[in-house]
Structure formats: C-alpha cells, structure tokens
Structure 1
C-alpha cells in the first residue's frame, strides 16, 4: 500500500488555482479596460496626445522596475532597495560627469556601483541567511545614506550638459513610438526569453517553487540569489537613466516616495505570487498597464497625494490578501527567511 507524498501537488487543487489565477488576470485586464474607458469619457484631456505620451512613458519606467522585482519575487525573494540603488547610482554618475569625467565612463561607474550593491545584498541573503525583506530594507537605507553623505549633497541632479543624445532615451521617438516604450518591450522580450527558454530561468522557477528540492537537484542556490539581486539592481539603474532622461534630472527624494509600493502593486496585482514559483512577463505587463492608468487618472483628477496613497495602499492590501488565498503558504514559505 503506497502513501502519496504530502509534498506532491494535488492535481485538482493545482487546476483550481490556475483557474483562479487566470480569472485574476481576466479581472485585472477588465478593470484596466473599464478604467481607461471611464477616464476617457469623464476626464477632459485624458485622451490628449500629451497626456498619453506622459502615460506610456511613466508606465514604461514603472514596468521596467517591475521586471527586476518580478525576477526576485518569482525566485521567492523581494527587493525594496531598488529605488535607493536607482537614485544613488544615477545621481553619482551625473556628479562624476560634472567633475570632469567623460559621461559614458561616469555611466559605467554608476552601473558598476548598482551591480556591486546588488551583489552585496545578494551575498547577505545567500551567505548570511538574512531574510530578503530585512536585507533589502536595511541596505536601501545604507545605500541612500552613503550616497547623500559621500557622493552628492543636492537632492536634485540635472542631466549633464552637452549630452543631447541622452535626451533621446526618455524623450525620443522611433516611427512615432516613444523610445521608453521600445526599451520596455525589448526588456520584456529579453526577460521572457530568459525565464522561459534558458536554464537560468528554469532554475529561478525551481527555486521559487520548492527551494529544498531545487537545492537537492544541485541548483547553485547561493550564486543564483546573488545573480538575481545583481540583475535587479542593474535594472533599477537602467530605469533611473530613462527617468532622468525623461525629466532632464533625477530627484533623490524618490527614495522617500511610495514608488517601491507602486512596483509591488504592479507585480502582485498582475498575478505574480509573493510565495514564488510562478508568474510571467505577461503578468508584469498587465499589472503595469492597470496601475499606470489608475495613477494617471488620479493625477488628472487632482486627487490629493495622501488620498492617492490611501487608494494605492488599499488596492495593494487587497491584492496581497487575494494572493495569499490563491497561493497559500506551504511548509517552505512558512519557514523563516522566505521573504
């Protein structure tokens, strides 16, 4: 008489969960369409060319950041240090350029700082067994404090002069399509290929689905964790460059904003479970579009910033509750250090 292992998924339960996830995607897509139609009808200027350009550019930047977050979340992690890495690495690159260094060299130094920060954070999690939420939260404060103390004193750093080509990244168009949108779509295609067609992607899903089994099968867990946070940090740097190019400056105050919660809202609302092991780039795109439309609509309605944060907080809380129902915590996710 054989007894089924409790670690094996229940087919009926798995099928039910997939139906719920598919329903969640359908609900979010429907809400995005409804919000777009309502804002188009009720809000003067929502469909204007200027506003749509602002919408797609802001959505693209948010989506790029969400790609980095999605990678670590699928692997059963989380990264709340992204905004700190973004503002410090880009601001420092601009300061270095102002000191007389070539702009391209300064950008390489900024990228190196971002990647090094990701590697250190990943090492703390992989080798120090520090829970990701605490490691990235503390590291974000350290990175921001270090930047403001040693790298730059002004919160606002303007794009260096004589870098007209840099403005094309955030403000240019190719065949009528904003470069920011093209960059987002290219990164989406790249991440989709990596996650669905490469061994690295398979290991990311395996780590998120069952860390113990992944470790038993020989997956190099620690190097993989370090690599994921390094990639997330580099993506934050790229998003920061696009943001700075769009606004002709980078503002360090973003570290104290709710931007990191917007990123989490995109990931969770789109359908990527915080327990890891599932989700796709389609979920990131879906969540990005809906959150982008919602934020843009509230901005046009001139809703108070505090009320906007309240709305986003409620939506994020509901999304997390829904995620906990769809993806209940198992033996692995209940262990200390899963997030």
Structure 2
C-alpha cells in the first residue's frame, strides 16, 4: 500500500471521527439553543418555578425513559408503556378508595410489574417478537383500562392529593420520585455487573450467553423493570391530575419515550448508550413542549414538532451508525 493511499485513508478516518464528534454535540448544543430561544420569546420560561414545573409535569417521561433506555441498550423494545401506565393508573385509582393512598400505590406498581412479567416471559423466555408482543399488550392494556373505568375517575382522597400537589424543599414529591428512579437506573448501569451485561446482550446475544451471562433472565428482568417504571409513572400522573381518564391516560406515550431515548443516543439495535445523555434527551423534549405551550402554540402543532424531532433523531442515529461502520 502506497504512502499516498495511507494518507488518503487517514484523512477519511479523521473526517469521519470529526463528524461523529459533531453528531454527539448536536443534542447539547440544540438544547442550549432551544432554551435560549424560549428565554428570549417568553419571559416566564427561564425561572426557577417554571423549570421545576417542567420536571414535575414530565416526571412520567423521566421515569419510563430511564428503564426503557436500559431495555433498548439490550436490543429490545416495549411499545406498550402508555397502555401499561393507563391500566396501572386506573387500578391504583380504583384501589385508593378501599385501600388508601399507600395501598393504591402498591396496587398500581404491582399491576405494572405484572404487565412487565407477561412481556418478559413471552419475549425473554419464549423468544417471541418484542414488537408483536408489546403491540398486543398495548391494545390489551388500553382495553382493560377502559373496561375497568368507562368513565374518568377523580377525587382520590387527601393522601393522593397531598402527594400529587405537595413538595419537599421546594421540589414536588413527584419530581423527587423521578429523580430517585433516574438515580437508581444510573447507579445500576454505571456501577453494577448488570449494566455490563445489558450492553453485552445488545452487542451480541449469542456471545453474551457463551460468556456466562443469563440472557433470558436479564431480558425478563428488564421488562419487569419497565413495567414497574410504567406503573410508577401511571401512579404519579393520576395523583398529579387527581383524575384517571382510561381512554387518554398515557396515550401516545410510546412515541414520546422513544423520541427522548433516541435523542439520548441509544441506537435502536442496542449495545451502547449513556443514561446521562438520555436525561438530556428527555430534558430537550420536556423543554420543547413547555416552551411551545408558553408561546400558546396549539397541541396539534406540539405533536407535529415532536414527530419531526423523532424523525431527526432516527436520521442522526442512522448517520452515526453509517460513519461507525466506515471507521
């Protein structure tokens, strides 16, 4: 191989490395620019009260995205999180009456875990397609929620209302729950063997199995984790709203979660990613929705912009994968 050829190849590698670095910087830069834009156009955006409100209003998104990102890192997906939120939130709301806030909370989380258990068994142990199973669960979960509560439920008692509207150190209880879930997930992925196993499964399931990783059990546990997160998110949402409308609770949440996770740099094929970047992706989506609302942009336009963001995130990921293959 000639010196000229080696030089050309080196320049191409440098160019691709530069492009990968530039792509990695897109989200942080875009988030800053978005916040600057809303600050200049809405006087109430860059205030402590509003930023805390952003976290509180988007707590379900923060909660589910953390668990969902771990699942996606392993190369699996759950398209039923919105319906799981609905059925968990509705059953928890029904249980608030006879069991009180704590009893209803346990019911909601247990129902979420049960949905995750079903998904995990069918996908993790029986190797059925994740898309087929979770799409089926999406329909079944929504139908179950609507059958349990044909009419919206509301008025859940003092305990639920205190949790949904209360705060500690100026930060809402709901926001503290989101922070706690995020901290637990980051700890698991960053400091335990489970995190390494999740990434190894995403890279190559067969190789992970041959190295002694319990692939089926890990996938099973990840689906239960997503179910628990969806149960907590459903509980958080119904207490904040003091209402549980089965038909709309968590509707379309799958797209929002997927957008945030892809924006956070988790490839759809799994095998790599950072939960810190996922938090940034969630924050971008949360700020986008909050800012557009403050600017009195209609909900239909918010959905259009969110869809465009998802397409852009998928496009960036496709470009990133292409460049990585060429290095």
Report if TM-score (shorter chain) is over 0.5.
Answer: yes
SS at structure 2 position matched to 1:254 = coil
1:245 equivalent to 2:239? Answer yes
* Structure-to-structure mapping, 1:280-291, within 5 angstroms: 280-291=274-285
How many residue pairs get matched? 315
Task: Identify the residue that residue 125 of structure 1 maps to in structure 2.
Answer: 123
Task: Identify the residue that residue 152 of structure 1 maps to in structure 2.
Answer: 149
How far apart in 1 are the matches of 2:134 and 2:13? 32
Two-structure CA RMSD over aligned residues (Å): 2.7
Deviation at 1:233, TM superposition (A): 0.6
Query: Could you say which structure has the higher helix fraction?
Result: 2
1:227 equivalent to 2:221? Answer yes
Does the 8 Å CA contact 2:89/2:237 hold for their aligned counterparts? no
TM-score w.r.t. the length of structure 1 is: 0.84
| Residue ranges of structure 1 left out of the alignment (5+ in a row) | 1-11, 332-339
* Consecutive aligned runs of 4 or more in structure 1 exceeding 3 Å deviation: 12-25, 47-53, 166-170, 253-257, 328-331
Does the 8 Å CA contact 1:24/1:271 hold for their aligned counterparts? no
Closer, same or farther in 2 for the Cα pair 1:271/1:52, shift >3 Å?
same
TM-score w.r.t. the length of structure 2 is: 0.87
Q: Deviations over 1:136-162 (max 9, x none)?
A: 11111112212322x2222x2225213
Task: Identify the residue that residue 31 of structure 1 maps to in structure 2.
Answer: 30
1:213 equivalent to 2:210? Answer no
Closer, same or farther in 2 for the Cα pair 1:289/1:101, shift >3 Å?
closer
Task: Identify the residue that residue 296 of structure 1 maps to in structure 2.
Answer: 290
Task: Identify the residue that residue 195 of structure 1 maps to in structure 2.
Answer: 189
Deviation at 1:205, TM superposition (A): 0.8
Closer, same or farther in 2 for the Cα pair 1:62/1:13, shift >3 Å?
farther
Does the 8 Å CA contact 2:84/2:115 hold for their aligned counterparts? yes
SS at structure 2 position matched to 1:153 = coil
| Residue ranges of structure 2 left out of the alignment (5+ in a row) | 1-10
Closer, same or farther in 2 for the Cα pair 1:282/1:18, shift >3 Å?
farther
Task: Identify the residue that residue 4 of structure 1 maps to in structure 2.
Answer: none
Closer, same or farther in 2 for the Cα pair 1:174/1:106, shift >3 Å?
closer
Q: Deviations over 1:15-74 (max 9, x none)?
A: 988865653342211111111111111124324565434322123331112112101101
Task: Identify the residue that residue 76 of structure 2 maps to in structure 1.
Answer: 77
Task: Identify the residue that residue 115 of structure 1 maps to in structure 2.
Answer: 113
Task: Identify the residue that residue 6 of structure 2 maps to in structure 1.
Answer: none
Does the 8 Å CA contact 1:75/1:208 hold for their aligned counterparts? yes
SS at structure 1 position matched to 2:244 = strand
Closer, same or farther in 2 for the Cα pair 1:14/1:294, shift >3 Å?
farther
* Structure-to-structure mapping, 1:1-339, within 5 angstroms: 22-47=21-46, 51-98=50-97, 100-149=98-147, 151-154=148-151, 156-163=152-159, 166-254=160-248, 257-328=251-322
How far apart in 1 are the matches of 2:107 and 2:177? 21
